[in-house]
Amino acid sequence: MSRYSVDLEESKKFVYGWDHALGYFYELWDDSLSEEVSECLIKERSSFLDKMQSSEMVEAMIDNGANQDHIEMVLMDLPF
C-alpha cells in the first residue's frame, strides 16, 4: 500500500495512492468544514470500488500537484 499527501490551498489536502484492495485511489479533504474528521472528506474515488479509470486518476493527480513519477506509474498501470 502507498499513501501520499499534497497540501493544497488553506486547509485542503489531496491524498492518493495504491492499495491491493482498492487499486488506485484518491481523496480530497477540507479540514475547515468541521472538527469531525469524517465530515471533512469532499471526494473519495477508487479504481476498484468506483470503477474509476486510470485517466480520471491521472487527471486528478495532475490537477492537484502529485509527484510526476507517481503519475507515470499510473500511466503504465503499475503500483507505486
SS (H, E, C) the chain: CEEEEEECCCCEEEEEEEECCCEEEEEEEECCCCCCHHHCEEEEEECCCCCCCHHHHHHHHHHCCCCHHHHHHHHCCCCC
One pLDDT digit (tens) per residue for the chain, 80 residues: 999 999 999 899 999 999 999 999 999 999 999 888 788 999 999 999 999 999 999 999 999 999 999 999 999 999 99
Position 27 scores a pLDDT of 98
For residue range 36-55, what is the model confidence (pLDDT) as tens digits? 878 899 999 999 999 999 99
Which residues span the domain enclosing 66? 2-75
* Counted domains in the chain: 1
Indicate whether 31 belongs to any domain: yes
Position 38 scores a pLDDT of 80
Indicate whether 19 belongs to any domain: yes
Indicate whether 80 belongs to any domain: no
Indicate whether 9 belongs to any domain: yes
Position 8 scores a pLDDT of 97
